[in-house]
Chain A
């Protein structure tokens, strides 16, 4: 008796419990798919999904779509994050700029990001440029906010040190304000990275011409190819997971001296 309980405990690592819901779900899914008939249209068997994965992989389709989505997200991050950081710096360092820019920033920010798409589409067409603008915009908002907040929150006691040693404006910014705001700026960039990935998928779904995971999903949906859709979801999810993981690790690294008081 005791031996049995012991064995059970020894061979039942808790993480296995976490596999119960996905396994049950997959079994149910396959069962539905095997029923055939009307169900077969909606539910595809796991084997089919696997086959789709292999096909997409070997044809290079997946790599192409994935690469173009990732490229879009990263260039959006670079452009939107870069401009956002500059705007945030201007707003953080100059009160007049802050006063003039913040009502505009705050009112534009209220529009759900993908809500801009019809307008941007009218202006720049439904090609890559429009998509890039939206993705960059999604990176712009958080970087402005966090850069601005980071600079605003630089403590007066640190700035006093700069005054005592007669640092000029540029020296104060470069030696004190910028490094002090850096953790916040990075937080903004990390958030921007997560946002750009989401908005990349979003714009590709909406403007589904051209390459990209979102476009691929959307076209697969029109052809009722759930297997392809699922493969895309898998890769979107894995990338989201990788981004969050990366952010977690990087923040620990970047913010390591934040906890230490100056």
Chain B
């Protein structure tokens, strides 16, 4: 398969901004006397407009990693930059979608999304337009006045995506965004996210434990291992978007990654083992 950079895919808006660079990230939690290494020497460069999926077992530090990029946690070693600027604290340039939608139950969908614009210095009308546009983008037109409890899980997660995109961030961070949804909704929303990404074109970094999802959406899939969290392998997915789930390439890659994740507790770098069969 030839690698087709997403920038050459017709219809995909190319952005010049949104390059995320992580260099030598080290993060540890200290309990009374012990220290727990969560991330060790984690380095990754993400191109503007690229979609990077990160998969790994639970406890490999992938959610922590996202919190660091988002700026919710500043205590780590190493450097994280966005377009060459060092990341410090949270910023409207970096959007974040959580696993649970985290919409506020006391606000309408519209107000929830508008909350993200609270500190944007633009006119009221401009804000209203942004909110309306993004509600339309995620296909929730007509639900502006609905409260979160009136929405299905999938709709709520779409609203959360709209909220994180309404600031037009350079990079969107997604922390297992579909992890709490049922299988059918998840497949549907994966398609929707791909459509949104193609239409909107910001850099996306998505954490997931679903290898199929990682491959279906990502230009690149980063495989992590735990104790301490580190990259063991990176897979380029050289397929044009939008993709065909039935593609044999995706299936082959999925088998490879799964084999690595399930069989190798102490995987040396870049080794992809084939399924042994008896261990499954």
Q: How far is the CA of A205 from the CA of B39 in the complex (A)?
A: 68
Give A164-187 interface residues, CB cut-off 8 Å to B: 164-168, 171, 175-176, 179-180, 182
B91 within 8 A of A: yes
Q: Which of B16-24, B111-119, B213-221, B242-250 contacts A (4 or more CB under 8 A)?
A: B111-119
Q: Per-position contact with A for B138-166: 1 when CB-CB < 8 Å, else 0?
A: 00000000011100000000000000100
Known: A257-B149, A262-B103. A165 touches B72 (CB 8 A): no
Q: How far is the CA of A175 from the CA of B107 in the complex (A)?
A: 9
B104 within 8 A of A: yes
Known: A257-B149, A260-B149. A165 touches B116 (CB 8 A): yes
> Is the pair A257, B118 in contact by a Cβ cutoff of 8 Å?
no
Known: A157-B102, A164-B90. A260 touches B119 (CB 8 A): no
Chain B at the A interface: SS class? loop
Q: How many A-B residue pairs have CB under 8 A?
A: 64
> Is the pair B90, A157 in contact by a Cβ cutoff of 8 Å?
no
Q: How far is the CA of A111 from the CA of B253 in the complex (A)?
A: 70
Residues of A within 8 Å of B96, CB to CB, are 164
Q: How far is the CB of A216 from chain B (nearest CB, A)?
A: 44
> Is the pair B72, A262 in contact by a Cβ cutoff of 8 Å?
no
The one of B102, B119, B148, B167 in contact with A161, judged by C-beta atoms closer than 8 angstroms, is B102
Q: How far is the CB of A177 from chain B (nearest CB, A)?
A: 11
Known: A257-B149, A260-B149. A167 touches B118 (CB 8 A): yes
Known: A175-B118, A257-B147, A260-B148. A165 touches B102 (CB 8 A): no
B100 within 8 A of A: yes
Residues of B within 8 Å of A248, CB to CB, are none
> Is the pair B102, A158 in contact by a Cβ cutoff of 8 Å?
yes
Residues of B within 8 Å of A261, CB to CB, are 100, 105
> Is the pair A167, B105 in contact by a Cβ cutoff of 8 Å?
no
Q: How far is the CB of B119 from chain A (nearest CB, A)?
A: 5
> Is the pair B104, A176 in contact by a Cβ cutoff of 8 Å?
yes
Known: A167-B115, A179-B104, A260-B105. 4 other contacts (CB 8 A): A164-B70, A165-B90, A175-B118, A262-B148
Interface residues of A (CB under 8 A from B): 157-158, 160-161, 163-168, 171, 175-176, 179-180, 182, 257, 260-262
In the complex, 12 of the A-B residue pairs with CB atoms within 8 angstroms, ordered by the A residue number, are A160-B98, A161-B98, A164-B95, A164-B96, A165-B116, A166-B90, A167-B115, A167-B119, A171-B118, A179-B104, A179-B107, A262-B101
